[in-house]
Chain A
Amino acid sequence: DAGVIQSPRHEVTEMGQEVTLRCKPISGHDYLFWYRQTMMRGLELLIYFNNNVPIDDSGMPEDRFSAKMPNASFSTLKIQPSEPRDSAVYFCASSSHPGQGVYEQYFGPGTRLTVT
């Protein structure tokens, strides 16, 4: 398996623009997580899905952030409008059910977002 795939790897945009980050989880995994990592706040869980359904979005910072998972192999995280304080590395991770012997999460390489 290719692992978790994220695109783009780097994104530079101007304040006020819409940003869309993409993630393809590992095939067969039914949990998908979006995290944000900054020096100040460390690694924060933004939202996670189970079987394409959002389960917990309490970490989404504000209404400017939205996430979707239209099918089992694709998810997006959208920021509209973007602000400089959104600059961070955004990670996607996937996992499966303990009944399938998978307890840990597998992370993608991340998208480094810079908002100027």
Chain B
Amino acid sequence: AQSVAQPEDQVNVAEGNPLTVKCTYSVSGNPYLFWYVQYPNRGLQFLLKYITGDNLVKGSYGFEAEFNKSQTSFHLKKPSALVSDSALYFCAVRDRGYQKVTFGTGTKLQVIP
């Protein structure tokens, strides 16, 4: 079985400050990990993924995420938040042996001008 936890329903951050959106996961094997963003009335949009290799992965719009195997975490980060980053963010996990992806419950990011 695989699962994802996003412990924060909402994260508020001031524009220009660094942001972190937390995610922890559980899989029986080695994971593929993903972050998606959803803007209002839109579909989910892929941001970045961890497949293998370097634990720090970089994605679209200046976002990055760090894979931590010992803590089973994959937190999303950005050095300087923009108001336009305000959206709903989903973490997702997939066991390498399967195609089925499990999504977290989502974290609403609010960037305050």
Interface positions of A (Cβ within 8 A of B):
4, 31, 33, 42-43, 45, 48, 50, 55-56, 91, 93, 95, 103-110, 112
Interface bits B28-55 vs A (CB < 8 Å: 1, else 0): 0000101010000111111001010000
Interface bracket on B? 10 to 19
For B34, give its contact among A31, A55, A104, A110 (CB under 8 Å): A104
Q: Which residues of A contact B43 (CB under 8 A)?
A: 4, 91, 93, 107-110
Assess whether B99 is in contact with A91, with CB atoms less than 8 Å apart. no
In chain B, residues 66-101, which have Cβ atoms closer than 8 Å to a Cβ of chain A?
A: 90, 94, 99-101
B42 touches A109 (CB 8 A): yes
5 A-B pairs with C-beta separation under 8 A: A48-B100, A103-B94, A104-B49, A110-B42, A112-B41
Pick the contact of A104 from B41, B42, B46, B106 — CB < 8 Å? B46
Q: Which residues of B contact A (CB under 8 A)?
A: 32, 34, 36, 41-46, 49, 51, 90, 94, 99-101, 103, 105-106
